[in-house]
Structure 1
Amino acid sequence: MRFCALIVCISVLSGCGGENTSSGDRFYNNGEYEKAVEAFTEKLETNPTDIRTLYNRGRAFEEMGQFKEAKADFTKITEIDEKNVSAYLSLSQVNYKQGSYNKAVLFADKALEINDNSAQGHFLAARAKHQLGYLDQALESYSLAINIDRDYGEAYLYRGALKIGKKQTKSACEDIARAVNLDVPDAKNIQSKYCK
């Protein structure tokens, strides 16, 4: 997912390549999440408040579906740095994955209080509002994400899907076509089903 990759790159700093890549980062990048957790945990033994390592371990836990542990790491980050946007976005995403949509909105909103120019924050808020049935608010949040990042393919796709539900077919198909042009997975299938 585009969001996950972006958050990892932003928060890992040098973890997306560079001289300071740790063994945990290498394990994570190779999809060896259990080994990554072990490496990050070992590193945290000497520096338990290292935000970068906590975040990376939280992401590895999330990839393994260990959401309780992931949330504990992301929450600890917010206790160390109450303005850490990435940690709030990750808490939003984990809660979304668990079906806790109200909490997903709350954490996305917390991130947006710190940085209202976060396309990912608006997108995560939109998805959770969409699931909660707040369609007009979700539509507004998808649009805010797109206004910030004109190449946010997933936001176009989900906004298009929402518009299909609202019987706004022409506008929906324009959004879905944009998602197809941005190579969003499943966009072509949705386009062929709803936009003939």
Structure 2
Amino acid sequence: MKYILIAFIIMAAISCNNEDSHNGDDFFEDGKYRLAIEAYSTYLETHPDHKKSIYNRGRSFEEIGETGKAISDYKKLLKIDPKYINAYLSLAKVSYNNGDYNKALIYIGDAKDLNENSAQAHFLSGRAEHQLGYFDQALESYNNAITINRDFGEAYLYRGAVKIGQEKLRSACEDFKFAKSLGVPEANKAIKDYCD
């Protein structure tokens, strides 16, 4: 009887911990990022190496503007698993949003080393190269993203923006219109500004 009680207590504790992780996922999906952070943090107290929880807590921190804590989680995750490509992509995105385009390219390079066929890596590379004024490289990166994922609407939008700078108006408008057909809301403004 004593062993059955101990087993029940252990199973209940595991169940509660798993519930914290699932609650975190639910809160994250619902955009309740502060609640997600609390749930993931509770779960990580007993499962400190749970990769998905660390990553999603980092994403939650990023969503509420606490980028320092997000970066800390992404770097912690890479110490546990140096091949966790989404951590590199998230570090690249944070670096890009902070205006550090060269650092973004370094993280993107790490992601591409792990998966050359990551459309997101090529897209983020194009964004950073575009900001740095490397327009030919940006165009190539957007092309690569589109080759890998034909439905990558934002890649069409930003490729169109590069083409505007290269005075390829007709081709840019084709990209803007395709981006619009893929549900990219910003494409409407680009079409209005350059194609009507």
Instruction: State the TM-score, normalizing by the size of structure 2.
Output: 0.87
Which portions of structure 1, spanning 4 or more consecutive aligned residues, are displaced by more than 3 angstroms? none
How far did 1:108 drift?
1.0
Q: Within 1, Cα distance between the matches of 2:84 and 2:103?
A: 17
In the alignment, which residue of structure 2 is the partner of 1:156?
156
Gaps of at least 5 residues in structure 1 are: 1-18
Distance 1:20 1:37, change over 3 A: closer
Runs (5+) with no aligned partner, structure 2:
1-18
Q: Mapping of 1:46-57 within 5 angstroms?
A: 46-57=46-57
Once residues 37 and 113 of structure 1 are traced to their aligned partners in structure 2, the CA distance between those partners, rounded to angstroms, is 30
Post-superposition CA distance 1:105-128 (Å, at most 9, x none): 111111001100000000011101
1:129 & 1:47 partners in 2: Cα distance? 39
Which residue does 1:70 correspond to in 2?
Answer: 70
Tell me whether 25-34 or 70-79 shows the greater mean CA deviation: 25-34
For residues 20 and 127 of structure 2, the distance between their equivalents in structure 1, rounded to whole angstroms, comes to 35
2-structure distance, mates of 1:166, 1:69: 39
**Which residue pairs with 2:186 in the alignment?**
186
Q: What is the CA RMSD across the aligned residues, in angstroms?
A: 1.4
**Is the 2:111–2:121 Cα contact (8 Å) retained in structure 1?**
yes
Q: What residue is the counterpart of 2:5 in the other structure?
A: none
1:58 aligns with 58
Which residue does the alignment assign to 2:25? 25
Q: Which residue of structure 1 aligns with residue 146 of structure 2?
A: 146
Q: Percent identity?
A: 52
| Map of 1:123 onto structure 2 | 123
Q: Whole-Å Cα distance in 2 between the matches of residues 52 and 97 of structure 1? A: 23
Query: What is the CA distance between 1:20 and its match in structure 2?
Result: 9.8
2:21, 2:67 → 1: CA distance?
Answer: 25
Q: 1:95 — aligned with what?
A: 95
Shift of 1:21: 6.6
- One-letter amino acid matched to 1:81: D
| TM superposition shift of 1:162 | 1.0
Give the corresponding residue for 1:110. Answer: 110
Contact kept in structure 1, 2:21 and 2:53, CA below 8 Å: no
Q: Under a length normalisation based on structure 1, what TM-score does the superposition of the two structures give?
A: 0.87
CA separation in 2, counterparts of 1:101 and 1:88?
14
